[in-house]
Each structure stands twice: as structure tokens, then as C-alpha cells.
Structure 1
Amino acid sequence: MSAIVAIEREEEIEVNSDDNIMFANLQSLRLRNLLKLKGFLSVVDSLVLFNGKVVFPNLEELEIKCMDSMKMIWPDQLILDSFCKLENLTVSNFTNLTNILPSNMLRTLQNLKHLKIDSCGSIEEVFDIQRTNNVEETHDIAATELRSLKLINLGKLKHVWSMDPQGIITFAKLRKIEIGGCSSLKSVFPTSVAKALMQLEELEINDCAMVEEIVAKEEGIETTTLFEFPQLKTLILRNLPELKSFYQGKHILECPLLNYLHISKCDKLKIFGSNKESVEETNGLGHDVDVIQDLFFFGEKVVFPNLEELEIKCMDSMKMIWPDQLILDSFCKLENLTVSNFTNLTNILPPNMLRTLQNLKHLKIDSCGSIEEVFEIQRINNVEETHDIAATESLKLINLGKLKHVWSMDPQGIITFAKLRKIEIRGCSSLKIIFPTSVAKALCNLRS
């Protein structure tokens, strides 16, 4: 099939006085697996899907998939009100498509809420901002309606935004962003976009081999930048081997409602540090600054008061998870902690964290080859201050070859583990004894 509408059949559709072909009532359009399609109309052979003569004034959903011959979706100029009600746009499996949203479409798609682009191997940018020369013309769509953005398997994608759109257009209503398999992408957000994401609830970035920072650093900016995500509940950073920091300048990151955090295979992300050298490696700037201030997660000044689930995996450079001192109430609601596949991590729960993680119910530690103990008790000097009943209900310790003690000493009179219901320990070849006496005596709720 080379066209959807042949010109000789135009009597079946409405044609207005300007010879435009109007689909006045069409609300949903799906075009799939049309490998030889040259355009929507047979009279046009320009490899542009929608010719300027086609009008969709009420189209709300558009899905186009597997059309290798197409190089462009939109013409340079659309008829007024065409696509103006489009809310959902899915573009997937295009080999030669080079452009998704040219600057002329930013104004047209003012009601677009959900955008998904998948497996388009020639796409280098999503939002083409630099071609917008008339700032005054586009300023009235400064608040786009876009709610979700999903970019998957775009191997040549270099920029989500071709330039910082500050003063031209904002994306303040974005709530969910997922980016995966974009192997040429080095950063995700321009600074102005990141600062405007006050409604963002979910951010997931996976399998992007070249990403070095989440937010691109503004040139010439040396002051501390505040990034505030007041609605962010889920943050996933997975398999980002070049990621060094959230932002490679001085910054403060605030996520007061963050509920779920997953970090894995981000080995260059120096979450913790204890000297200037580690900070220089993190931010790449070599500035003599406060060590904690330039760290991404879990520094003394980072607060996650509502975090309930934390997973950190496959980060061989990490030696410690927590700093010596945390801000009050940080991690105080954490219920589920999973730590796995660390080569150099030597410490999981130092004494200062036993009181902080007072709501921790489920603890899993897997394949951490340097761990020698789980609950570090011996450094607790103020018995009265830390006396408590641990909330831990399940404990899973797997493949900890150097583990010698689950508890570094008998915690009698300091902390009890009476709520434990399930314990699983295997592959711990150096472990000789599991329970200190006081722990074993208190296991009245243990079921398996």
C-alpha cells in the first residue's frame, strides 16, 4: 500500500472550498506495518506522512508504527486547527524518520498530553527548539499540556530538547518520564526544564550508556542551584555506567515525597565520599567545596522523609551507604531495603542507622562479597539513647562469602529483634553462628 486515500475516491470524504480533505469526526487513527507507504494521500510522493491538504480537527489519538519509507510526519505548514486536539501520540519502529516535533508543531500540538517514541533509529532530538526564531509567536504556549513522555530504544538520540527552551516553552505539567535504551544521550534535561518539573511524579532512566548527568550544567553558573521535585514519588536509575552526578555543579536536590528509589549499575555515581578527591571525581570541576553538598544521594544534607523502599544494586565502587550523621527524620519511614551485588561495600547497618531505620521491616542483602557483619552493634556507646525494638520482620542474606556475624555482638539491652518472622540465610560460607543468645530468645514470632 502506497497511500491511505487515493485522489480518485475523494467523493467519499468531505472536501472544502480550498480542496482540503477533512476528516471532521475522526478521533482515533492507527497506521501499522505499512512498509511501502509514501504518504496519506496518493497525490503526494514526498515521504511526508501527512500532506498539508489533510485536516484532522478532532483527532485525539494517533499511533503510527513500522513505516520504514517515511522520513517526516508533518509538512512544513499545517492547515489551521488540524491536529489541534491531539492528546496521545505514539511513534514507533521507523528506520528513516529524522524528526518528530519540529518547531512549527510545538504551537499546533498544544493539547498533547502523552508522547511515546520507540525504536526510531535515526531520531537525534525530540523537541526541536532551535528553529523557533519568533519567540513572541510561541510564548503563548509556554505551559504545554504534556503529562507523560516515554522515549525507548532511540540509539542516535543526542538531545531530548535541542536547546534550553527557557522563555519559549515550558513542560511544567509533566508527571511521568521514562527514558531507556538511548545510547547516545549524555544528559536528559536542560536546566530550565528540570526547574519547572513541579508536578513530576515518576522518573525512570534505564540502559543509557553515555548519560553523564541528569540535568545539563548551565555554562558559567557557579552558584548553588536548587532542584526541587515536590511531587516526585518514584526515581529509578538503572544501568547508566557513565553517570557521575545529578548535576555537575553545586546543587541541592529536594524530593520530599520520594517513596521508591532504585539505583543499579551506576558505578561512576559517587554517592558517598569522605575527601576532596572523591568530590572532584564526582563533579568533574575540581572545586574546593563542601564534600557533602556536591553528592547525589545520602549525604548529610539529603533528606528523604517519606522514602519507603530503597534498592541499590551493582555499584562496585561504593564502600559505604550512609554518612556518619543524617538529618533528623531522613529515611525514618524506610520499610524495604535491598542491597545486592556490591564488591567493595563493607558496611550495611552501622550503629547510627539502627535508630534511624526504626520502621525497616524487610532487609535483603545479596552477593556483597566484602560484608563481614550486618548489624554493627559494638560502636553504640549511649545505651539509653538507642534502646529500641527493631521493626524488622524478614531478613534475607544470600551469597555473602565473607560474612562472619549477622550481629557483631549480642545486642542485649540495646535493641531487640522480636518482630522477626522470616529468616533466610544461604551461601554464607564464613558464617559460624547465626544468633546471639538474646536474639534467639526473643524470636517469639519467627515462622520460617
Structure 2
Amino acid sequence: MVEDCHRLVKNVVPAHLLEMSPNLEKVEIYNCDLVEDVFGFGGQDGFPLENIRMLIVRCCDKLRNLFSPSIARGLVHLQELIIDDCSMMEEVVANEDGEHSGGGRIYSTLFPQLKHLELRGLSSLGRFCHVIHDWEMPFLDHMAVLNCPKMQTFSPGFVHAPNLQCVKVEEQNWWDSKGKRVECIWIDDLNKTIQHLFEKQQQEEEEEDEE
């Protein structure tokens, strides 16, 4: 666990730490309000990212993204990802220059073992990643999106998440047309669900402004 490192700016999880801890499975980073870069290397082959199964990041206000694409591809056994109260985060996986469409095929998978994803209090988040081709999250079965008012989509490409049946939203006080509290929603697929959340929130804000 890394906590209350208010002078730390880069390399919260440096390469030499992973080299010394090849069996590291859980990483927690709390209240590092100046940190701009969590992983202090480019995700080259040889660093044991594949052993990390849980990653929790809270209250890191300077983070604009959490992973480079190469780091994300290295986290092949990550099962739980929680990001909470990082006010400047715009996307979880940074945009990769030069990415090309795969013609609709699912040819690359980020976080192939991810089961549990929570995005909370990310006031600048626009999307999870910028993958433009179709891709798959085969084991994702729990997802929460809470207080992410700018999130309009999960990714530009279609996301196949066969085990995900709803997105948890209950802390945002959603209500259906009959006035019943809604704890989770699902609209056809993940991108449509996120888009629905965004549009519903925009509508509610407009109604509040008119009052």
C-alpha cells in the first residue's frame, strides 16, 4: 500500500519494485494528490505485471489516466479494479496513437480476467479507454459507475461483456418512470448503458436549471 505521499509525483510503482516483488498481487494507492504517473516504466517485457490481481486507486487528483496501453496489456490477470475520487482523470487507459480499426473483429483484449470494475467520483472522466476496434471483457460481471458526470461512453469500439447484466448506479439516486428507485441499469450493451446514464443525468440537470 502507498498512502499519503504528498510529495510523490511519478513512479508510485517503479520497475525495481516489481523486480523485487515478482509475486505482488495487490496494489493500493491512497491520497497521493500530486502523483501524475503510477507505473514508472513503459510496460516492457520482463516486468511481472501479470501477477497483479487487484488495483485500488483513491484520491489521486493529478492523475489524468492510470495506464498506458502497454501497461494495460500487461495486466493479464487483473481481476478487480477500483478507481475513486480522482478529479482530473479523463480516461483510465491513455489513448494510443496510431491505432487502427480491426474491421469489426475482436482481435485484442484488455484486462482479459477482469471481473470487478468500479469507477467512482471521477468528475472529469469521459471514457474508460480509446479502443476503436471491437473487443471483449469475457469475465466482467460487476461494474459500478457512480458520480462520473462527463462519462459519455465506455470506449469508441463495441465492448463484448457476455457476463455483465447491469451497471450499478444506486448512489446517484436514479428513478424510473414509475418513481421507483433504480439500483442498476442495462440498455442492450455497455456503451449504450453508459450513454443512457450520461443523457439521463444531462436531462435531470436541465430540469433542475429550469426550476
Q: For residue 58 of structure 2, what is the aligned residue in structure 1?
A: 92
Match of 1:172 in 2: 138
Task: Pick closer, same or farther for the CA change 1:94–1:85 going to 2, 3 Å.
Answer: same
The residue aligned with 2:193 is none
Partner of residue 42, structure 2: 77
CA distance in 2, matches of 1:185, 1:228: 15
- Residues 1:147 and 1:165: Cα distance change in structure 2 (over 3 Å): farther
Alignment partner for residue 70 of structure 2, among 104, 109, 113? 104
Asked if 2 retains the 8 angstrom alpha-carbon contact of 1:52 and 1:77, the reply is: no
| Equivalent residue number for residue 26 of structure 2 | 61
Deviation of residue 70 (structure 1)? Answer: 1.2
> Is the Cα contact below 8 Å between 1:99 and 1:125 reproduced in 2?
yes
Query: How far apart in 1 are the matches of 2:40 and 2:101?
Result: 21
1:126 partner SS: coil
Query: How far, CA to CA, are the matches of 2:110 and 2:8 in structure 1?
Result: 35
Question: Equivalents in 2 of 1:183, 1:140: separation in Å?
Answer: 29
- 2-side partners of 1:151 and 1:189: how far apart? 14
Show CA shifts across 1:8-52 (max 9, x none). xxxxxxxxxxxxxxxxxxxxxx112222235xxxxxxxx222333
Distance 2:33 2:111 in 1: 33
Residue number in structure 1 paired with 2:179? none
2:118 match: 150
User: How many Å separate the matches in 1 of 2:26 and 2:130?
Assistant: 25
CA gap of 1:147–1:102, structure 2 versus 1, over 3 A, is same
Q: SS at the partner of 2:128?
A: strand
Contact preservation (8 Å) 1:198, 1:228: no
- Give distance in 2, aligned partners of 1:120 and 1:142: 22
Q: Cα distance, 1:106 vs. partner?
A: 1.9
Asked whether the 8 Å contact 2:82–2:117 carries over to 1, the reply is yes
Alignment of 1:32 onto 2:8 = no
CA contact under 8 A between 2:149 and 2:201: conserved in structure 1?
no
Q: TM-score, normalised on structure 2?
A: 0.71
Contact 2:15 / 2:40 at 8 angstroms: preserved in 1?
yes
Greater C-alpha Rg: 1
User: Which whole-Å deviations, capped at 9, do the CAs of 1:50-71 have from their partners, x for residues lacking one?
Assistant: 3333323211111100011211
Which has a greater percent of helix?
A: 2
- Map of 1:183-194 to 2, 5 A cutoff? 183-188=149-154, 190=156, 192-193=158-159
Per-residue deviation, 1:267:
9.2
Query: For 1:142 and 1:238, how far apart are their aligned partners in 2?
Result: 24
Between Structure 1 and Structure 2, how many residues are aligned? 184
What per-residue deviation string (whole Å, max 9, x for no partner) do you get for residues 254-304 of structure 1? xxxxxxxxxxx6999xxxxxxxxxxxxxxxxxxxxxxxxxxxxxxxxxxxx
Aligned equivalent of 1:13: none
Does structure 1 retain, via aligned residues, the 8 Å contact 2:109–2:137? Answer: no
Provide the secondary structure at the position in 2 that maps to 1:151. strand
| Matching residue of 1:198 | 162
Amino acid at match of 2:202: E
Q: Which piece of structure 1 moves more, 172-181 or 51-60?
A: 51-60
Query: How big is the shift at 1:143?
Result: 7.0
User: As a proportion of its length, which structure holds more strand?
Assistant: 1
**Structure 1 runs not aligned, ≥5 long:** 1-29, 39-46, 209-213, 216-225, 230-236, 244-264, 269-448
Taking a change above 3 Å as real, the CA distance of residues 241 and 51 of structure 1, as seen in their structure-2 partners, is closer
Deviation for aligned residue 1:119 = 0.5
**Equivalent residue letter for 2:141:** R
Paired with 1:155 and 1:184, the residues of 2 have a C-alpha distance of 7
Task: Point out which structure has higher relative CO (alpha carbons under 8 A, 6+ apart).
Answer: 2
TM superposition score normalised by structure 1: 0.36
User: Residue type of the partner of 1:116?
Assistant: I
Structure 2 residue 16 is the aligned partner of structure 1 residue 48: no
| CA shift in 2, pair 1:266/1:174, >3 Å | farther
How far the C-alpha of 1:142 sits from its partner, in A, is: 6.0
1:120 deviates by 0.5
Alpha-carbon contact 2:28-2:56 (below 8 Å) kept: yes
Give the 5 Å matches for 1:416-427.
none
